[in-house]
């Protein structure tokens, strides 16, 4: 070989030998709740990687911290409830829903109205003017508005008391400082262990409750990532359904399961990925308009990633 070519040959070889820079992972903001188990499984079992994506789950202790990160552009995606999602979009956060995470399901409660331990479980139609702990302008208040008529609780019977932090709401209920409270699982089960009683649950409401969104910049620059994300998420949901006990430890570590419940708490059944139906979104928007949280509904196509 011509000696003058050797430096160029070695340069070419060295360039091919350089490691390829890894793609930046999609940073998805989550909360430590049951709804996020499929996301945790998809990362732990490398489902996203198998579909050509790198995903990093970024846990937050509160929805407020997660929302600030999403609004500031520090996240590429987001897990949250439908009402909070619409409020972020209202606040000009450019994101779209790619799938529902959880919807109310018969035989599987996720939220419930529960009594304090010393209160006899009442006939809902005669529940009386009791004090109920909720968080206003949230999915909790929306669900209470749905659960009351479903249970036969007369309108405007319950006196609603703002207790935003759910652990404090649980403590106040068990201490008898609240007559009732709306709580999510697994705290409903923990409250029952402390003597609380369930009045009504969300099981038969058939509502999409939580969703995953991707930032518009991701969808604009790499539109194929939305489909790959859903494919990976579907794989995780399918595997949880086939062998739920395999993921008990992961659920305990990542989904905020209290220690007394870890061994026996039922692993949820998760819906296959789909968009929330337009009618359900419209119902949430109308409720938000009635509570001063929206001025007008969004066009459905503005909210979701087209299939």
> In the predicted model, what is the mean pLDDT of the chain?
92
Tell whether 217 and 193 lie within a shared domain.
no
Residue 287 belongs to what domain range?
26-104+207-303
Beta bridge partners of 81: 210
Residue 94 lies in a domain: yes
Tell whether 296 and 216 lie within a shared domain.
yes
What the block records as the tokens of 243 is 């062998």
Tell whether 54 and 36 lie within a shared domain.
yes
Runs of H (alpha helix) within the chain: 6-17, 37-44, 47-50, 63-71, 82-90, 139-151, 166-174, 187-193, 216-221, 224-242, 248-254, 278-290, 300-303
Tell whether 221 and 163 lie within a shared domain.
no
Confidence of residue 2 (pLDDT cuts 50, 70, 90): very low
Q: Return the residue matching tokens 């968009």.
A: 275
User: Domain total for the chain?
Assistant: 2
Q: Give the per-residue SS3 of 132-175.
A: EEECCCCHHHHHHHHHHHHHCCCCCCCEEEECCCHHHHHHHHHC
Tell whether 99 and 213 lie within a shared domain.
yes
Residue 192 lies in a domain: yes
Cβ neighbours for 305, distance < 8 A, ≥ 6 positions apart: 96, 97, 98, 214, 219, 226, 275
What the block records as the tokens of 97 is 């829903």
Contact between 131 and 159 (Cβ < 8 Å): yes
Tell whether 126 and 191 lie within a shared domain.
yes
Tell whether 119 and 191 lie within a shared domain.
yes
Tell whether 217 and 94 lie within a shared domain.
yes
Residue 12 lies in a domain: no
Q: Give yes or no for residue 17 having a pLDDT over 90.
A: no
Q: Give yes or no for residue 243 having a pLDDT over 70.
A: yes
Region 87-99 average pLDDT: 97
Task: Specify the pLDDT at position 122.
Answer: 67
Boundary residue ending a domain (201, 233, 256): 201
CATH number at residue 99: 3.40.190.10
Q: What angle do CA 286, 292, 293 make, to 5 degrees?
A: 75
62 Cα distance to chain centroid = 12
Give me the helix-helix angle, 278-290 and 82-90, nearest 10°.
70
What's the CA gap between 256 and 186, in Å, rounded?
8
Distances (CA, A) of 197 to 64, 175, 176, 181, 300: 30, 14, 13, 11, 39
Radius of gyration of the chain (CA): 23
Q: Give yes or no for residue 36 having a pLDDT over 90.
A: yes
Give me the helix-helix angle, 37-44 and 224-242, nearest 10°.
100
Boundary residue ending a domain (201, 222, 239): 201
Would you call 57 helix, strand, or coil by DSSP? strand
* Highest mean pLDDT, choosing among 124-138, 147-161, 291-305: 291-305
Task: Specify the pLDDT at position 14.
Answer: 44
249-290: pLDDT as tens digits: 999 999 999 999 999 999 999 999 999 999 999 999 999 999
Q: Return the residue matching tokens 């995470």.
A: 101
Tell whether 138 and 183 lie within a shared domain.
yes
Tell whether 211 and 84 lie within a shared domain.
yes
pTM for the structure as a whole = 0.91
């Amino acid at each position: 070989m011509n000696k003058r070519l050797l430096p160029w040959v070695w340069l070419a070889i060295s360039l091919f030998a350089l490691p390829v820079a890894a793609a930046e992972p999609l940073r998805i903001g989550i909360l430590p709740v049951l709804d996020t188990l499929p996301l945790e499984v998809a990362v732990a079992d490398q489902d996203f990687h198998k579909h050509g994506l790198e995903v990093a789950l970024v846990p937050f202790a509160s929805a407020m911290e997660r929302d600030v990160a999403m609004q500031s552009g520090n996240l590429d995606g987001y897990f949250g409830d439908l009402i909070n999602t619409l409020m972020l979009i209202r606040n000009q956060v450019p994101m779209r829903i790619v799938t529902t995470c959880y919807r109310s399901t018969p035989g599987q409660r996720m939220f419930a109205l529960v009594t304090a331990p010393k209160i006899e479980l009442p006939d809902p139609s005669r529940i009386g003017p009791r004090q109920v702990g909720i968080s206003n302008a949230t999915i909790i208040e929306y669900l209470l508005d749905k659960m009351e008529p479903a249970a036969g609780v007369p309108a405007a019977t319950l006196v609603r008391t703002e207790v935003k932090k759910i652990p404090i709401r649980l403590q106040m209920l068990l201490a008898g400082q609240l007559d009732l409270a709306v709580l999510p699982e697994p705290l409903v089960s923990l409250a029952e262990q402390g003597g609380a009683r369930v009045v009504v649950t969300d099981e038969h409401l058939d509502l999409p409750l939580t969703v995953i969104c991707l930032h518009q910049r991701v969808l604009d620059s790499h539109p194929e990532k939305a489909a790959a994300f859903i494919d990976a998420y579907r794989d995780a949901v399918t595997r949880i359904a086939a062998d739920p006990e395999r993921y008990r430890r992961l659920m305990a570590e990542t989904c905020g399961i209290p220690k007394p419940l870890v061994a026996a708490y039922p692993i949820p059944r998760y819906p296959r990925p789909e968009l929330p139906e337009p009618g359900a979104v419209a119902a949430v928007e109308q409720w938000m308009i009635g509570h001063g949280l929206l001025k007008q509904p969004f066009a459905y196509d503005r909210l979701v990633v087209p299939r």
